[in-house]
Every structure is written in C-alpha cells, then in structure tokens.
Amino acid sequence: MGSPVDVVVMAAGKGTRMKSSRPKVLHRIGGRALAQHVIDTAAGLSARSVVVITGHQAEAVEAGLIQPEALSRLQFVRQEPQLGTGHAVQQAMPVLPDDGVTLVLSGDVPLTEPGTLQALIERCGGRDMALLTLELPDPAGYGRVVRAPDGSVQAIVEHKDASPAQRDIREVYSGVMAVPTARLRQWLSQLGNDNAQGEYYLTDVVRMAVAAGETVQAYLITDEVQVAGVNSPVQLAALERAYQLRLAEGLMNQGVRLADPSRLDVRGQLQCGQDVEIDVNCVFEGKVQLGNGVRIGANCVVANVSIGDHTAIAPFTHIDGGNEGASVGQGAAIGPFSRLRPGAHLGNEVHVGNFVEIKNSTLADGAKANHLAYLGDATVGERVNYGAGAITANYDGANKHRTIIEADVHVGSNSVLVAPLTLGKGGTVGAGSVVTRGGEAGALTVTRARQVSIANWQRPQKKPKS
Ligand code: UD1
Ligand code: MG
C-alpha cells in the first residue's frame, strides 16, 4: 500500500478568454462540467479526499459540482483573491494531512486518464516530486521543463519568464504534479511572487525541491488530449471532439456500429447491447440504454430512456424521458419525427409514427399511434389503434386529467378525448368526435353531426358586372 492520496483541484481562476458569464470550469464536455470530469477521475483513483479551490464565482462553482459516489470526501476551500496557482494550493494546506501525497490537478484540464495519474503517483512513490509533462510542437504559453545536461529536472519556467533559449524547449509542464504533502507544505510557505506576472507560482516548488537535493521525476507522456487545457471556446470545441471520438471508439470496440464516429455526441451515459446500429448525427443525453439489435436512424436526439431489443427508432425522432424517465419495449417502431416526453412508457411492438407526441402515458403491447396525434396523461391498452389527428384534451386550464383507453379500442381520426374519461374495451370512436363522457365496452361513440347530402345543390353564382 502506498501513501494515501489527497487531490487538490485548482478551480478559482477567472477564465477570461472564455468571454463568458459562466465560470470556466463549469463549461461542459460531453454534458459534464470540466471540473466535474476532474473530480470524477480523482474519485476513480481511490483518493482519500478531494479539495476543490474556488474563488471566481465560488458559489456557482460549488453549486455546479457534485460529489461522486465513489468519493468519500469532497471539500471546497476558497481562494480570495486569486494570486496564482501556488497561492491556490496554499489555501488547501490546512486541510491536508502530512502523511499523504498531494496530487495537484487543474479544473480546466478535463481528460487526463486515471491510469496516467496512477502512474504519476507511483513515480512519486511517497518520496519524490513527480511532474506530468509532454512535448509539444508549439509550446507557447506553457511552463517549460528545464533539464540539466544529465537530463535531471532543474526547474519549470513560465512562458512569460522564459529566456529565448528556454522558449525553444518543447517539453512542457501539464499542470499536474504529485508531491509528498509534508514537503509541499514546507516549500509553499517559502513562495515569492517576484516574476513577470507578480503571481505565486506553484511551479516554483520545483526549483526548491532541486535546491534541497531532492529528485524531481518527470513523467513524459505523448497523448496531448490528456493534458490539454481549456482556455477558449475554440479549445473547448476541439477537446469536445477529441472526447467524443474516444467515446465513439470505445463503443465500436464493444461492437456498436456507428455510421460515422465523427458524427456522434454522447452527453451522459450510453449503454448498448449487441448489434446496435447508430446512424449519423445522433445525440444521446443523460442515461440511455439500448438493447440488442436496436437501430437508431439519422438525426435523433435520445435522452433518459431505455429501449428494448430490436426496436427501431427512425430518423428525426426526439425522445427525452427527463427526470421521470421513459421506456420503449422490444420490437417497437418509433418515428420518423416522433416525440416521446417524460413518463412515456411504451410496450412491445408499439408503433408510433410521424408527428405523434406522447407524454406521461403508457401504451400497452401492440398499441399504435401512427400519425399526427397527442397522448398526454393516458393509459392505452393492448392493440389500441389511435387514429390520425386524435388528441387527448388532458388539461382544463387548471388541472391535468387522465384518459383511459382500454384494450382493442379504435379511436377514429381527428377525435378529441376530453379527459377525464374511459373508453371501454373494444369500443370505437367515430372519426371527428369530441368525446366528453367516455364510452361503454364494445360501443360505437360518435358525437359529430349526422351527414346531410342535398341532391343537385346549386352553388351561389357571381353577379354579372354592370
Ligand atoms: C499553469 C502552469 C504552467 C503549465 C500550465 C498547464 C503555473 C504557474 N503555471 O499555467 O506551468 O504549463 O498550467 O496548463 O502553475 N487557478 C487558481 N487560482 C489562481 C490561479 C489559477 O485556482 O490564483 C487555477 C485556474 O482556475 C486553472 C488552474 O489554476 O484551473 C491553472 O491556472 P492557469 O491560469 O490556467 O495557469 P496557466 O497559465 O495555464
Ligand atoms: Mg491554463
């Protein structure tokens, strides 16, 4: 067993270059706040605690982040004012026990993998300072890793403080380090701010460690995505694409067939069975489960729903189960252009067609609503045929009411079912009816005026011009 790990996530900075009223670390990748990615990764390392340093819009940042289940302790510590990364970590020192290793992460570097951090912690080994570094073709803006001729790390020099020769160094510091906490405490107490930015740089502790005769390890990785920081909308979008591509590759490696991995967006958790096919431009949000053999057509938005085996979702369908959730059974056919809202629960072999909206309603096995219809707060029995243009009038202006349509009912086209009402088993509603009292089992309910036909009807004629 190594030393316990306490993680410090720096998230107090302003993020000026985002040009946004939202704090930078709350901008999202894959539907999750940048700093939440970092916290979730830390939770996966079995860290003893995670301390998030907040400052700029601290309340919003603290409210926007949640403690993952796997993490026993998430605390927030304020940094006021924000005087640099060294000053940020100083604020955490009172809550960090001396027996551990401190892993410093940045709230704006979201995609570092747990395995990489684990390897860094192993290099630290509870003894040495270990820095995560990489070589960049264009290192501008980053702190440079200065090495002695024997290759040992001497210092990190910030871009703004670097000499022309130092600016040629391509190895940069990622912003991630692991250090024995007791040593870090000692060095941080000696930090000054005599530099180009007048800030307390965390990176100055490297020089102090070297001066104290300590070894500083640099763990050089080649995967830029893992250390890429977000400072601008352009970088945010680039990292979003990188994230989505990794996720798409993961799905394909499980056997999911994607028409185009560069045209998929998952903003949440997508679980797929075997032989799932997903066409281009689909967006998945929240928790989505797709059973075996599910096919999703092009341009669908699918959120918070569980979809049963061999169901097909045709193009341009919008499903969002929201907090209540939604579900579709097996062998169902949904879309094109269908809309399923929170509380839509559809059985096996249900058919829902174009421009049909379903909210807070259950449709039992084999029910069909194929064209231009609304079902809200309805309980629909097996094999019901809900005609084109039929509507549940579920809202009286103050309250919502339920419509119950029992098995094998046939609702004629363009009917309005004014809730609350029940249509008994096997009944029929004539097309164009406005039904207000429901119907007995097996009955025909028609409320429209009887048809009148007048033979040889003469239409009015235009008067001749005088
Ligand atoms: C930092 C490193 C640099 C490294 C780069 C990698 C320092 C001095 N420099 O520079 O060597 O190459 O990251 O991305 O550490 N923050 C606070 N409080 C502050 C200042 C910053 O919490 O007072 C937070 C920011 O919100 C951000 C993180 O620290 O999440 C990094 O700050 P940033 O200003 O982006 O540092 P860089 O200039 O990128
Ligand atoms: Mg930065």
Superfamily for domain range 5-227: Spore Coat Polysaccharide Biosynthesis Protein SpsA; Chain A (3.90.550.10)
**How far apart are alpha carbons 383 and 369 in whole angstroms?**
10
**Residues forming the active site:** 371
Q: What is the token pair recorded at 335?
A: 């879309």
What is the Å distance from ligand 2's center to 359 Cα?
45
Which strand (E) or helix (H) includes residue 116? helix 114-124
Atom of ligand 1 nearest to the CA of 53: 22
- The CA-CA-CA angle for residues 226, 229, 234, to 5°, reads 115
Q: Is the CB of 143 under 6 A from ligand 1?
A: yes
Q: What is the token pair recorded at 234?
A: 């352009």
**How far apart are alpha carbons 435 and 418 in whole angstroms?**
6
Q: What is the token pair recorded at 135?
A: 């070589």
Tell me the ligand closest to 176's alpha carbon: 1
Selection from 197, 212, 202, 115 nearest residue 154 by Cα: 212
Second-level CATH architecture of 248-445: 3 Solenoid (2.160)
Q: Distance between alpha carbon 315 and the CA centroid of its chain, in Å? A: 22
**Coil, strand, or helix at residue 443?**
coil
**How far apart are alpha carbons 417 and 270 in whole angstroms?**
37
Q: Is the CB of 85 under 6 A from ligand 1?
A: yes
Ligand 1 atom 26, closest CA: 13
Phi, psi of 456 (to 5 degrees): 50, 40
- Strands of 118-261 (E only): list them: 129-135, 144-147, 153-157, 171-180, 216-221, 257-258
Which strand (E) or helix (H) includes residue 92? helix 85-92
Per-residue pLDDT of the chain (466 residues; tens, 9 = 90+): 689 999 999 999 989 999 999 999 999 999 999 999 999 999 999 899 999 999 999 999 999 999 999 998 999 999 999 999 999 999 999 999 999 999 999 999 999 999 999 999 999 999 999 999 999 999 999 999 999 999 999 999 999 999 999 999 999 999 999 999 999 999 999 999 999 999 999 999 999 999 999 999 999 999 999 999 999 999 999 999 999 999 999 999 999 999 999 999 999 999 999 999 999 999 999 999 999 999 999 999 999 999 999 999 999 999 999 999 999 999 999 999 999 999 999 999 999 999 999 999 999 999 999 999 999 999 999 999 999 999 999 999 999 999 999 999 999 999 999 999 999 999 999 999 999 999 999 999 999 999 999 999 999 999 998 8
Cut 0.75: pTM above it: yes
Residues of the chain with CATH 3.90.550.10: 5-227
For the beta carbon of residue 453, count every other beta carbon within 10 angstroms: 5
Q: What is the token pair recorded at 358?
A: 């379903």
**How far apart are alpha carbons 95 and 55 in whole angstroms?**
17
Output DSSP code: residue 160.
G
Q: Is the CB of 12 under 6 A from ligand 1?
A: yes
Please check whether residue 392 is in contact with residue 378, taking contact to mean a CB–CB distance below 8 angstroms: yes
Residue type for 27, please? H
Residues of the chain with CATH 2.160.10.10: 248-445
- Strands of 92-143 (E only): list them: 101-106, 129-135
Please check whether residue 136 is in contact with residue 170, taking contact to mean a CB–CB distance below 8 angstroms: yes
